[in-house]
Amino acid sequence: MSTLLSTLRLICGDSHVLTHDDPGTDLSAWELDWRKRIRGRALAVVRPGNTQEVADVVKACAAAGTAIVPQGGNTGLVVGGVPDDTGTQILLSLGRIHTVRGVDPANLTITVEAGCVLQNLQAAAEAAGFLFPLSLGSEGSCTIGGNLGTNAGGTQVVRYGNTRDLCLGLEVVTAQGEIWHGLSGLRKDNTGYDLRNLMIGSEGTLGIITAATMKLFPQPAAQLTAWAAVPSMQAAVDLLGLVHQRLGPGLTGFEVMGQFALGLVDKHYPQLRVPLWKETPWCVLLENSDSESEGHARGQFEALLEAALEAGYASDAVVAENLSQAKGLWHIRESITLAQAEEGLNIKHDISIPVSRIPAFVAETDALLAQEVPGVRMVNFGHLGDGNLHYNVQSPEGADGKAFLQDFEDKVNTLVFDQVAKFDGSISAEHGVGELKVGKLPLYKDPTALAMMRAVKKALDPKNLMNPGRVLS
C-alpha cells in the first residue's frame, strides 16, 4: 500500500493525498455520511485536480487491486459515497475538479466539471441569461457529478425531468483508467448503445463521471408560487390534475406536505411562520413558470385557485406576492428534513408510486404502520407531481430514537417496501440504492433486470473495484 500511496502522491501532489497518519489530519468530512449514521475509514482521501489525474489514479488503483469510492459533495442519503470500515479503499474526491468549461447559447448547453456545486452551476447559467432547472435542498453543497451519479430529482421534475433528462453528454473515466470523451451536446445521436444514460444513476459503480454537458432553458418571464390547504391526499391528486389542465407545461413544481411534517417545522423553526397547516391534513406548494408576463401568470393562478376552491380540491390558498415570499414558502418545504432531524432519529423512505394510486397507498400503509408500531408518527411529504414521496417514519413521542431504530427499522422497511411493490412502485425514487438498500434490491427488482445489471457491471468493472458493495451485492 505504501507503493500505491507514493504513486498517488506523484500523480496528485503530496497535499492532495490525505491519510490518517498525517499529523493533524481529520478525514471526517469524507468518511462520515451526511446523515451521520455510518462512518467508514479510507486508506487515503485522494483529490485529483483534472480528468487526466483521475485517469492516472484509477490506473494505479487498478494495478494495485485497490477499490475506489468516488465522492462529490457527500450529501447522499443511502451511504453510497463513503468508504467502508476496512481502511483499504481509496476515497476519490472530485471537489477540485469544478470548472465551468463553457456555455453554448445557440445550442442551449453548459459544460461543467463533476465537482461543480449545483448552486454554482445555476448561477453560471443565470449569468449567461438562462435557467438550469435542477433544484435540491442540498444545492449549496451537492455537486453535478453526484447529481448525475444518483440521477437526482428535486422539485422541478414534473416539468424538466430528473438529472438524466437534463444531460446531453458525459466525460467518464472507466474502471481501466481510460477516458471516454462523450461531451457532445447533440440531442440526436443514434449510433449504438446509450452509454451516457448507463452511467447516469450508476452511483460510481461503472465509471467516474468527470464532466458533463447539460441542457439550458430560457428564463421564464414570470414565476409565481402558491400554497394551498387540501382536505385529503385524494384532493391533492385531483388538484394536480386540474393544475395540469389549466397550466400545462407552466407547472414547474407540485409538492405535498402532511400536517405532522409541517408541525415539526413550526415546532423547531417557528420563525418560518408556516401557513394554513393547523386546520388541514395536507398542504400543497405549487409553482407556475410563465413565458408571457407576470400579469398573465397571476391571472392563470387566480383562475386556477378559484376553480380548485369551488371544486373542493382546496379549502384555502395564498399566493406569494413577491420573490421573497416565494422563497420563504419554498424554505418551509425544504426545512422539513432538518426539522425531522431535530425531532430525533427516524426511518426514511424515498419511494415512487403511480400518482393515481398514492392516496390508497398512504391510507393503507399508514394504517398498517399504526398497527405495527402504536404511536408512530408519519412525516409524509414529497414531489407529488412526479409520484415521489419521502414517506418517513418517526418514533412515538418520548421514545428512545436509537432503540426505535434497533427494534423496528427492518420491520418497518419490509412493511413499507412490500406495500410499494403491491402498488407497483419503486423503493428508490431519487436517492439511489447505495449501501442501505443493496440488500433489499434483489427482493423487489425484476430478476431479469438484475441479471442484466450484473452482466453490465462484470463487463465494465470485472475486478469490482468501482464503489463495490453499492447498488449490486
Averaged pLDDT score across all residues of the chain: 95
Q: Are residues 236 and 332 in the same domain?
A: yes
What CATH number is associated with residue 104? 3.30.465.10
The count of structural domains within the chain is 4
User: Three-state SS across 220-271?
Assistant: CCEEEEEEEEECCHHHHHHHHHHHHHHHHHHEEEEEEEEHHHHHHHHHHCHH
Q: Is residue 443 part of a domain?
A: no
- What does the block give as the cell for 271? 420563525
Q: Is residue 152 part of a domain?
A: yes
What is the tally of helices (H) and strands (E) in the chain? Answer: 16, 19
Dihedral sign computed on CA atoms, order 314, 318, 322, 323: negative
* pLDDT over 90 at 295, yes or no: no
Q: Residue 379: how many CA atoms within 13 Å on its side-chain side?
A: 29
Q: Are residues 328 and 308 in the same domain?
A: yes
List 174's β-bridge partners, or say none: 207
List 256's β-bridge partners, or say none: 284, 382
Reported as a single tens digit per residue, the pLDDT across 230-270 is: 999 999 999 999 999 999 999 999 999 999 999 999 999 99
CA distance 309 to 382: 22
CA distance 459 to 228: 50
Q: Are residues 175 and 161 in the same domain?
A: yes
User: Three-state SS across 273-313?
Assistant: CCCCCCCCCEEEEEEEEECCCHHHHHHHHHHHHHHHHHHCC
Q: Is residue 417 part of a domain?
A: yes
Reported as a single tens digit per residue, the pLDDT across 298-333 is: 888 899 999 999 999 999 999 999 889 999 999 999
**In this structure, what are the phi and psi dihedrals at residue 58, rounded to the nearest 5 degrees?**
-60, -40
Q: Are residues 368 and 390 in the same domain?
A: yes
Reported as a single tens digit per residue, the pLDDT across 120-150 is: 999 999 999 999 999 988 999 999 999 999 9
Q: Which residue, 289, 321, 337, sits at the end of a domain? A: 337
Q: Distance from CA of residue 66 to its chain's centroid? A: 28
**240 class by beta-carbon count within 10 Å (0-12 exposed, 13-18 middle, 19+ buried):** buried
Q: Are residues 304 and 357 in the same domain?
A: no
Q: Is residue 116 part of a domain?
A: yes
pLDDT at 35: 82
pLDDT at 292: 86
Q: pLDDT category, 296, cuts 50, 70, 90?
A: confident
Q: Is residue 403 part of a domain?
A: yes
Reported as a single tens digit per residue, the pLDDT across 143-193 is: 999 999 999 998 999 999 999 999 999 999 999 999 999 999 999 999 999
pLDDT at 34: 87
Q: Residue 117: how many CA atoms within 13 Å on its side-chain side?
A: 11
Q: Are residues 203 and 106 in the same domain?
A: yes
Q: Which residue, 337, 362, 387, sits at the end of a domain? A: 337
DSSP assignment letter at 382: E
Q: Are residues 204 and 287 in the same domain?
A: no
Reported as a single tens digit per residue, the pLDDT across 336-356 is: 999 998 998 889 999 999 999
Residue with cell 411534517: 261
Q: Is 140 left (phi over 0), alpha (psi -120 to 50) or beta?
A: alpha
Whether 282 and 233 have beta carbons less than 8 Å apart is answered as yes
Q: What does pTM read for this prediction?
A: 0.93
Q: Is residue 471 part of a domain?
A: no
Is the pLDDT higher at 34 or at 275?
275
What CATH number is associated with residue 9? 3.30.43.10
Q: Are residues 328 and 244 in the same domain?
A: yes
Q: Are residues 121 and 229 in the same domain?
A: no
Q: pLDDT category, 2, cuts 50, 70, 90?
A: confident
Reported as a single tens digit per residue, the pLDDT across 31-83 is: 999 888 889 999 999 999 999 999 999 999 999 999 999 999 999 989 999 99
Q: Are residues 178 and 154 in the same domain?
A: yes
Q: Is residue 440 part of a domain?
A: no
**SS3 call for 373:** coil
Q: Which residue, 93, 124, 145, sits at the end of a domain? A: 93
Segment 365-377 shows an average pLDDT of: 95
Segment 208-222 shows an average pLDDT of: 96
- What does the block give as the cell for 174? 472507466
Q: pLDDT category, 1, cuts 50, 70, 90?
A: low
Q: Residue 442: how many CA atoms within 13 Å on its side-chain side?
A: 7
**SS3 call for 194:** coil
DSSP assignment letter at 39: B
CA distance 24 to 10: 22
Q: Are residues 204 and 120 in the same domain?
A: yes
Q: Is residue 432 part of a domain?
A: no
What CATH number is associated with residue 366? 3.30.70.2740
What CATH number is associated with residue 276? 3.30.70.2190
CA distance 445 to 471: 11
Domain range enclosing 190: 100-218
CA end-to-end span of the chain, whole Å?
Answer: 26
CA distance 319 to 387: 24
Pairing mode of beta strands 346-347, 388-394: antiparallel
Q: Are residues 62 and 106 in the same domain?
A: no
